[in-house]
Amino acid sequence: MKPLGLYIHIPFCKRKCNYCDFLSWGNTKKEDHTAYVEALLAELQYYADQDMLLDSVYIGGGTPSLLERDLILRIMEGVTGSFALSEDAEITIEANPGLLDLDKLMAYRRAGINRLSLGAQSLNDEILHFMGRIHKSNTFIDNFYLARDCGFENISADLIFAVPGQTVELWIDSLEKAISLGAEHISFYSLQIEEGTPFYGLWEKGAMKAVDDETDRRMYHEALKRLKNKGYVHYEISNAAMPGFESRHNLKYWSMEEYLGVGLGSHYYINGTRFSNETNLEKYLRISKGVKEGREVCNDPLSYLAPWVVWHHKNTEVDEISEFLFTGLRKIEGISLSAFEERFGKPVTAVYENAIGKHSRTGLLELNMKEDRLRLTAKGLDLFNQVLVDFV
């Protein structure tokens, strides 16, 4: 059976954060959640009975933990009723501190969810308030310990640095607190001021200044140093984990492995083709209703366009090669030279001789034939976008 990852998008939040440009919105009602989950179940069933084995499932958003407990259980029933799961499948749910309780967490465990991604973002209350988060730092800590009590042995903490008003000292304090809890996985992202967000409006008017690059990089390297000292493995530009706790689902994205996406605006990659779903909620619900009533049918959903798909692109060989390079170089181990040649029938040096030579000479790339690796150096990680230009 073909191993596959599955991403499930939940577009609802209690309140939209000031920095967020994801496909999500707040102030929704229970009936909205129920209608959406019914639509999700129709999409899951549509893909049922394919020759696929799920080895990772990721329920993301938005804020999946906003949904009522029974709706998450129904989603998981839809997954297990539509697909075969490997015995050791990694099943993750994203959760917001303040939207978890004992009942929800125990239900998640009974449903087979074995990995929790907690959106801490910061462990400083002033920074949390500025970002528009609904929780306080103590709420995150309480929820972390509650999840431990419920049997979660794989917990990831998401943190954001380079937030306007955040000093290096405040960033280190948040990071050290997350590390001290014993989270198996820590994601640490530099804040990006995205168009259409409240932060962008403040920045555009000059009411908020972005953190300068020097401070941003200092925060990043402080994180790397402190995580390494505590035994974490830095395995992707913005992710570190204790050995064996790397996010298997996200590694699919960075290794050009196949995954299916369901839900509003989901993206997926199968058979060398990239797909994306409808982003209008009313249309998404209407399509799902048509599928349930038998008006939308496809005998082989992975070969033809599913009713929800609004965009698709069959990758050319050039697309495949460039994507393999720029996703693979996000991993600290880089890409395997032999895996590249096996996949594309030619050595990477034959395709990107000039780019590899250029960035090797400037110390941004390392080509190690003995170790079978092409990877970014520490300096290259800081200048990733500069390197990326020559591989796209």
Asked which of 195, 229, 254 is the last residue of a domain, the reply is 254
First-to-final CA distance of the chain: 32
Q: The domain containing residue 114 runs over which residues? A: 2-254
Q: What is the pLDDT of residues 123-167, one digit of tens each?
A: 999 999 999 999 999 999 999 999 999 999 999 999 999 999 999
Q: What is the pLDDT of residues 24-57, one digit of tens each?
A: 999 999 999 999 999 999 999 999 866 789 999 9
Q: In the structure, what pLDDT confidence band is assigned to residue 303 with cuts at 50, 70 and 90?
A: low
Contacts of 360 (CB under 8 A, 6+ apart): 366, 367
Can you read off the two tokens belonging to residue 90? 């990694």
Asked which of 254, 285, 316 is the last residue of a domain, the reply is 254
Q: Is 384 a member of any domain? A: yes
Please state the rounded mean pLDDT for residues 87-99: 97
Q: In the structure, what pLDDT confidence band is assigned to residue 294 with cuts at 50, 70 and 90?
A: confident
Residue 74 CB neighbour total at 10 angstroms: 18
Tell me the CA distances in angstroms from 330 to 195, 323, 381, 385, 388, one per residue in order: 24, 11, 8, 10, 10
Which residues face 3 on adjacent strands? 53
CATH number for the domain that contains residue 142 = 3.20.20.70
DSSP string over 183-239: -SEEEEEE----TTSHHHHHHHTTSSPPPPHHHHHHHHHHHHHHHHHTT-EEEETTE
Does residue 135 sit in the same domain as residue 11?
Answer: yes
CATH number for the domain that contains residue 363 = 1.10.10
pLDDT surpassing 80 at residue 273: yes
**Residue 341, H or E segment:** helix 337-344
The total of structural domains in the chain comes to 2
Mean pLDDT, the chain, rounded, equals 95
Does residue 112 sit in the same domain as residue 244?
Answer: yes
pLDDT surpassing 70 at residue 309: yes
Does residue 249 sit in the same domain as residue 335?
Answer: no
Q: Is 69 a member of any domain? A: yes
pLDDT score of 215? 97
